[in-house]
Every structure is written in structure tokens, then in C-alpha cells.
Amino acid sequence: MSSYSHTEEEPKWQEKWKEWKIYRFDPESNLPAYSIDNPPRYTSGSLHLGHATSYPMIDFAARYRRMRGYNVFFPLCFDTNGMPVETATEKKYGINKFTVDRKTYLRLCSEYANQFIETMTKQFEMLGMSLDSSLYYQTDSAEYRRITQITFLRMLKKGLAYRGTFPVNWCPNCNTSLADAEVEREERNSRLHYIDFNVSGGGKITIATTRPELIGACQAVLFRTGDSRYSGMEGKEVILPLYLRKVPVMSDPGVDSAFGSGAVMVCSYGDRDDVEWILKHKLPSTVIIDEFGRMNASALFLSGMNTEDARREIVQRLREEGAIVREEELVHSVGVCWRCATPVEILEKRQWFLRSVEFSRQILEKADEIRWFPSFMKQRLADWTESLNWDWVISRQRLFATPIPVWECASCDYVLAASEEQCYI
């Protein structure tokens, strides 16, 4: 056994197994089928340790089912679409979608995505993955994109897909909307500012915020229903410092009375709570941040600044006005882009959505019918499902992906959906 070399023997047997086609799914077989929805790996680089630990666990199920006499469907596949590929391409070439023409951008992304496929296939073989190469697909292929577009059109006809204007997660760096699942949470250092708002008719109310640059987008000041500190304040108006606009004071049971001063400003939009409160209380919205994370003309004296510079500027002005009562260092959870870690804004944008929230109960009911391995994954699905408050935004302001098959009139906003015959060719 001392002369045995696995580095010599393993490739030899892997080639034999390929010749014998022992991993191949047989569509003509009478054996019971076992289908694995194998998640395609992004081709933005080589496999890493996370893949080496997670994909073999899927392979365990494939091999076990084959030994039990099943006809296993387990495709070799790669995700050659989307933001991970674009982000890696932009980093390599020092470009973005605004600095080169569309054709060049798509070519560079395609070249980058496809250059890793052979290497990654070899790496999967080194891991001993029993993937079926006869079922191979990649997500930038014409066939795959055609299927994706046809699926969208059929969902559109059923009313499951729709276009609407709604606050969405937005990455100022990648310059695109993001689904909730694409927003990660990071603990970051910040500062909590306690700011006096003058009450119309006399008096003051102190709010606490980490984002004073959003005062210009404030639509109301809220305190927790029943909070005795603000007895008699509901229904009054406060005057926004520096902007001198009046907004109402309201109560809401969702306000955390233990945070800061117990009074918060509701802005369009600082976070998900702001979205919920603005919708619930039918408040207006004032957009003061643009797609690039810069303050727009509605921000007045902050116009043209990025949010960090705007925060420093308005804090300085508030100090000069004597409006800042105190400041505290704070570590809090910030939503960031899953690809570039830029803090995410919430912008009101016209986008395409898939109906999701209305199916929450059905998802949970179906989860009860499934045998889960490991069992805690069922709870993970339940937690995710119960957290759904918004429908899934599927449109992205990116280039290297499957286009949504509709035409939108720039003049009258009319939408013309493609026919299935017109889908990706």
C-alpha cells in the first residue's frame, strides 16, 4: 500500500466512470426518478472552501439514491449571469456600465464568466462530485434565457408578475435594485444624534437618528402609543430644523420606546420601518437621494453631496443652530449589497415584481409535507417566509442577464409584452 498514489489512481478511475456513463440520467428508464435541483455555481472565480463543504453534501444524496436503485437527475451547471459576474468583470478591467458601450461590456462579462468553467468542472471532479455532464446547462445560453423569458410571460398572463412603483432596496454602487435576499446585514460603527425639533406653537421634542441627512425627507415624528413622555403631543406639528417644513406628530405601537429618546422621525426612506409607517399612516414621500447615492435638489443645501458628506455637513449646521442635544457612539446593523458591501438605500422606483407575500401560507403548508434533512432547515424556510413583507423585485438595472421580454413606451408608459415566439433566439 505504500506505493499507492491517489493522485495517479483517482484521475484514472474518474475517466473510466465517464466512459461507463455511470452518473448519466436515462430519460427512457423505468426506474423511479430522483431529481436534484442543483444550484448552479457562479463562474466569477474558482471554487472555495464553502463549495467544497456544501456541494458534496448534495452529492451524498445523489450517490445514496443511485445505490437504492433510483434514476438520478443531477446536472452539471453554472450560473454565468448577473451581478457576481459583472462585479468581478468591472473589478478586473476597471470599468462599469457607464464607461464602456453595451456591446463591449457584454463581451467582457461573457469572456470572464466562461473562462472559469473548465477549471471549475475539473475542481468538481476533484471533489468527487457525481454530476451528469449530459444534462449540462449554463444560465447565459440562448436556450436557458428563452425558457426564463417564456416563464415570465406565462406568469405575467396569470397576474403573478406585475410592474409597479414601490420603495425597493437599491445599491448606489452597483446602481440597481436588489431583492431582500440580496441585502446582507453588517455591524458597523455609527453615531446616534439627539436632535431638538421645535413644536409649532411652543415646546420641543427630541428625536434620535443615525441619519440626520434625511431630515429633509422627514414626513412625521412618531412615538410609541401610550408613552407618557409624549402625552398631549399627538396631533401637533413640529418644524424640521434647517428645512423649516412642518410635519405631524403621531403615535404608533411599533415604535421602540427604549431606543434613543423614544421619538423617531419617519423618512422616505431610511429603513424598512419607514416604508411600513409611511404606507400605514398614508404619509407623502420626498425623495432626496438619487440612484448614485447623492443628495438631489430636494435636499437643498446638501444637493450633490454623497450621503456621508451630507451627514457631516448637516451635523455641523445643526450644531451651529444649537439643535443637537447630544451624540452617542453606536454599533448597529446596516443593510449592505451582497456583492460590493455598499450600504443599501431604499428608493421609490418603477420595477417589475413577482407576487410572493400572498403565497406565504401555502409555502408553510407545503413545508409540513416535506421530510427535512437537516431538520433545522425547515425552520429557516419558515423564518424567511414569515419575514416576507414585500413582493419579490425581479428587475435589475444591469446588462449581463436575461432581459425582461417587454417593451415600455417612453412617452405614454404603455407596456407591450413579447410573444413566446419572440423570446430569446
Residue 98 placed within a domain = yes
Residue 148 placed within a domain = no
Q: Are 335 and 185 in contact (CB under 8 A)?
A: yes
CA–CA distance, 176 with 344 (Å, rounded to integer): 10
The CATH number for 188's domain is 3.90.740.10
Grid cell digits, residue 172:
448606489
Per-residue pLDDT at 173 = 93
CA–CA distance, 299 with 304 (Å, rounded to integer): 9
Per-residue pLDDT at 23 = 96
Residue 149 placed within a domain = no
Domain shared by 13 and 107, yes or no: yes
> One-letter amino acid identity for 120?
M
Domain shared by 73 and 48, yes or no: yes
The CATH number for 44's domain is 3.40.50.620
pLDDT digits (tens, 9 = 90+) for 176-206: 999 888 999 999 999 999 999 999 989 999 9
Give the angle 63-68-74 at the CA atoms, nearest 5°. Answer: 40
Longest CA–CA separation in the chain, Å: 92
What b-and-e string marks burial along 123-147, b requiring 16 or more CB atoms within 10 Å of the CB?
Answer: bbbeeebbbbeebeebbbeeebbbe
Residues 6 or more apart whose CB falls under 8 angstroms from that of 200 comprise: 236, 237, 238, 239, 246
Residue 390 placed within a domain = yes
Q: How confident is the model at residue 373 (pLDDT cuts 50, 70, 90)?
A: confident
* Conformational region of residue 235, where left means phi above 0, alpha means psi within -120 to 50, and beta covers everything else: left
Domain shared by 56 and 74, yes or no: yes
Residue 94 placed within a domain = yes
Query: Is the pLDDT assigned to residue 90 strictly greater than 60?
Result: yes
Query: Alpha-carbon torsion 198, 243, 192, 322, what sign?
Result: negative
CA 150 to chain centre: 23
Domain shared by 188 and 305, yes or no: yes
CA–CA distance, 18 with 348 (Å, rounded to integer): 52
Q: Which of 264, 191, 192 is nearest to 227 (CA)?
A: 264
Grid cell digits, residue 161:
408578475
The HSE-up count of residue 249 (CA atoms within 13 Å, CB side) is 25
Q: Which residues pair with 245 in a beta bridge?
A: none
Per-residue pLDDT at 153 = 98
| Prior bond of 374 cis (ω within 30°) | yes
Helical H segments across 115-141, by residue range: 117-126
Per-residue pLDDT at 389 = 86
pLDDT digits (tens, 9 = 90+) for 207-239: 999 999 999 999 999 999 999 999 999 999 999
Domain shared by 358 and 324, yes or no: no
Burial of 32 (0-12, 13-18, 19+ CB in 10 A): exposed
Q: Are 342 and 307 in contact (CB under 8 A)?
A: no
CA–CA distance, 120 with 102 (Å, rounded to integer): 28
Domain shared by 190 and 174, yes or no: no
Which residue carries 453606536 as its cell?
330
Query: Is the pLDDT assigned to residue 67 strictly greater than 90?
Result: yes
Domain shared by 319 and 193, yes or no: yes
Which residue carries 412617452 as its cell?
411
Number of domains into which the chain is organized: 3
Q: Are 269 and 226 in contact (CB under 8 A)?
A: no
Per-residue pLDDT at 9 = 87
Domain shared by 64 and 103, yes or no: yes
Going along 106-226, which residue ranges are E strands? 132-138, 161-171, 176-178, 183-199, 204-209, 218-224
Query: Is the pLDDT assigned to residue 132 strictly greater than 90?
Result: yes
Q: Are strands 246-252 and 218-224 parallel, antiparallel or unpaired?
A: parallel
Per-residue pLDDT at 228 = 92
Q: Which residues pair with 221 in a beta bridge?
A: 249, 265
What is the average pLDDT across 134-141? Answer: 94
Q: How confident is the model at residue 425 (pLDDT cuts 50, 70, 90)?
A: low
Domain shared by 193 and 212, yes or no: yes
Structure-model confidence comparison of residues 2 and 188, the more confident one? 188
What torsion do the CA atoms of 301, 304, 307, 313 make, to the nearest 10 degrees?
Answer: -40
Residue 36 placed within a domain = yes
41-42: strand order across its sheet = 41-42, 75-79, 132-138
Q: Calculate what percentage of the chain has a pLDDT beyond 70.
A: 99
Q: Which of 218, 345, 350, 235 is nearest to 285 (CA)?
A: 218
Q: Which domain holds residue 247?
A: 183-337
Q: Are 340 and 91 in contact (CB under 8 A)?
A: no
- Residue at a domain's end among 337, 370, 391: 337
Domain shared by 192 and 320, yes or no: yes
Give SS3 for 31: coil
Residue 1 placed within a domain = no
Residue 342 placed within a domain = no
Domain shared by 167 and 227, yes or no: no
Which residue carries 405631524 as its cell?
248
Q: Which residues pair with 188 in a beta bridge?
A: 332
Domain shared by 273 and 227, yes or no: yes
pTM of the complete model = 0.87
- Residue at a domain's end among 316, 337, 358: 337
- Residue at a domain's end among 337, 357, 374: 337
Which residue carries 448577473 as its cell?
82
Burial of 393 (0-12, 13-18, 19+ CB in 10 A): buried
Query: Is the pLDDT assigned to residue 1 strictly greater than 60?
Result: no
